[in-house]
């Protein structure tokens, strides 16, 4: 398996992302959020669970700050082991915020359990879901090429 570290670029976050509102309490969460930037896209890698209360709120806080900046965002769900109805609700809310701000928000690499929940709830037709991070990033490039079609 190839290390994904090779694809990341270091970056100076946009001014509005310089100090995201993550509070010390969140270090005890069972959700780790890592933000990266690659080829003009903000990538948020989620590791752990997206569940009611603190975890869902932490994700919502971070993504809403990024959405305020505009642009393109990929939520990498490949590390998400568990998601509950509150977590699903937060993803729907974040997607709506992104649409309101004309931000392209895509989802990448959900595990089978998460993907099945998207299918059961019908969110697979609401969200743009890609099997991998690489495919989600490539979809931004192909949409830029086709914009002139």
Q: Taking the CB of residue 68, how many other CB atoms lie within 10 A of it? A: 13
How many whole angstroms separate alpha carbon 104 and alpha carbon 124? Answer: 16
Structural domains of the chain sorted by starting position, each given as residue range(s) with its CATH number in brackets: 27-146 (3.30.750.24)
Alpha-carbon distance of 129 to 139, in angstroms, equals 10
pLDDT tens digits for range 67-118: 998 899 999 999 999 999 999 999 999 999 999 999 999 999 999 999 999 9
Residue 139's CB is within 10 A of a number of other CB atoms, namely 18
pTM score, two decimals?
0.77
67 or 146, higher pLDDT: 67
Phi first, then psi: what are they for 57, rounded to 5°? Answer: -65, -40
Task: DSSP letter for 70, please.
Answer: -
- pLDDT band for 24, please (50, 70, 90 cuts): very low
Q: Give exposure, 11-29, as e/b (b: 16+ Cβ within 10 Å).
A: eeeeeebeebeeeeebeeb
């Amino acid at each position: 398996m190839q290390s994904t570290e090779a694809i990341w670029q270091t970056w100076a976050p946009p001014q509005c992302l310089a100090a995201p509102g993550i509070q010390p309490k969140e270090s005890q969460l069972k959700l780790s959020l890592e933000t990266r930037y690659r080829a003009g896209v903000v990538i948020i890698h989620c590791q752990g669970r997206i569940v009611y209360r603190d975890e869902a709120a932490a994700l919502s806080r971070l993504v809403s700050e990024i959405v305020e900046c505009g642009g393109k965002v990929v939520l990498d769900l490949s590390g998400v082991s568990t998601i509950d109805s509150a977590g699903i609700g937060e993803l729907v809310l974040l997607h709506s915020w992104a649409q309101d701000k004309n931000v392209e928000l895509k989802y990448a690499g959900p595990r089978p359990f998460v993907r099945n929940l998207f299918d059961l709830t019908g969110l697979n037709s609401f969200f743009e879901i890609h099997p991998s991070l690489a495919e989600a990033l490539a979809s931004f490039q192909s949409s830029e090429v086709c914009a002139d079609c």
